Amino acid sequence: MPNDELIGDLGRFAEPALLVLVSLSSGPKHGYAIMSDVASFSGTRIGPGTLYAVLARLEQRGMIAPLEADERRRPYRLTDAGAASLDAQLREMGRLMQAARLRLPHLSG
Amino acid sequence: MLAQPSAPLVRLAVRAYPREWRRRYGVEIRSLVLDRQVSWADLFDLFRGAFDARLHPHIQPRPAFAAILTRGVPIPAPTRPAYGAVPSAPLAVQTRRIFLRRMLAAGIGIVSLEFLGGTLAFLWPQIRGGLGGKIAVGTIADIGAKQPDFATGWPYSYPPARAFLINVPAAEALALGHPISMPNPTADQLLALWRKCPHLGCQVPELCDELKRFTCRCHGSTYNILGEKLKNGPATRGMDRFAVSIGADGVVVIDSSQITTGALERGPEHLVFTDPHPWDALCPY
Q: In percent, how much of chain B has pLDDT > 90?
A: 17
0.90 surpassed by complex ipTM:
no
CB of A58 less than 8 A from some CB of B? no
Q: What's the rounded Cα separation, in Å, for the pair B259 and B161?
A: 12
Number of alpha carbons in the 13 Å side-chain half-sphere of residue B112:
6
Q: Does B156 or B62 have the greater pLDDT score?
A: B156
Q: Of the candidates B28, B42, B46, which has its C-beta nearest A74's C-beta?
A: B28
Q: What's the rounded Cα separation, in Å, for the pair B11 and B17?
A: 10
Q: Which amino acid, residue B91?
A: L
pLDDT score of A14: 87
Q: Check CB contact under 8 Å for B72 and A59.
A: yes
From chain A, pick out residues whose CB is under 8 angstroms from the CB of B62.
59
Q: Dihedral of the CA atoms B194, B195, B201, B206 (nearest 10)?
A: 160
Asked if A74 and B28 touch (Cβ cutoff 8 Å), the reply is yes
pLDDT score of A108: 53
Q: What is the mean pLDDT of residues B196-220?
A: 89
Q: Of the candidates A45, A48, A66, which has its C-beta nearest B46's C-beta?
A: A48
Q: What is the mean pLDDT of residues A66-92?
A: 89
Q: Is the pLDDT of residue A5 over 80?
A: no
Q: What's the rounded Cα separation, in Å, for the pair B187 and B247?
A: 9
Q: What's the rounded Cα separation, in Å, for the pair B239 and A85?
A: 104
Q: Check CB contact under 8 Å for B64 and A74.
A: yes
Q: Of the candidates B29, B61, B67, which has its C-beta nearest A48's C-beta?
A: B29
pLDDT band at B161 (very low <50, low <70, confident <90, very high): confident
| CA torsion through residues B124, B129, B135, B136, sign | positive
Asked if B101 and B213 touch (Cβ cutoff 8 Å), the reply is no
Q: Check CB contact under 8 Å for B27 and A72.
A: yes
Q: In percent, how much of chain B has pLDDT > 70?
A: 84
Q: Check CB contact under 8 Å for B67 and A66.
A: yes
Residue B62: how many CB atoms within 10 A of its CB?
21
Q: Which amino acid, residue B183?
A: P
Q: Is the pLDDT of residue B264 over 70?
A: no
pTM over 0.80: no
pLDDT band at B270 (very low <50, low <70, confident <90, very high): very low
Residue among B146, B25, B143 at smallest CA distance from A57? B25
pLDDT score of A6: 47
Q: What is the mean pLDDT of residues B84-103?
A: 73
Residue among B41, B45, B36 at smallest CA distance from B16? B45
pLDDT tens across B83-93, in order?
A: 655 556 666 66
Q: Is the pLDDT of residue B29 over 90?
A: no
pLDDT score of A86: 92
Q: What's the rounded Cα separation, in Å, for the pair B214 and B220?
A: 9
3-state SS string over chain B? Answer: CCCCCCHHHHHHHHHCCCHHHHHHHHHHHHHHHHHCCCCHHHHHHHHHHHHHHHHCCCCCCCCHHHHHHCCCCCCCCCCCCCCCCCCCCCHHHHHHHHHHHHHHHHHHHHHHHHHHHHHHHHHCCCCCCCCCCEEEEEEHHHHHHHCHHHHHCCCEEEHHHCEEEEEHHHHHHHHHCCCCCCCCCCHHHEEEEECECCCCCCECCCCECCCCEEECCCCCCEEECCCCECCCCCCCCCCCEEEEEECCCCEEEEEEEEEECCCCCCCHHHCCCCCCCCCCCCCCC
pLDDT score of B269: 43
Vertex B132 angle, CA B131 and B134, to 5° = 85
Q: What's the rounded Cα separation, in Å, for the pair B165 and B171?
A: 11
Q: Check CB contact under 8 Å for B72 and A62.
A: yes
Q: Is the pLDDT of residue B55 over 50?
A: yes
pLDDT band at B238 (very low <50, low <70, confident <90, very high): confident
Q: What's the rounded Cα separation, in Å, for the pair B18 and B12?
A: 12
Q: Of the candidates B42, B45, B72, which has its C-beta nearest A79's C-beta?
A: B72
Question: Helix, strand, or coil here: A86?
Answer: helix
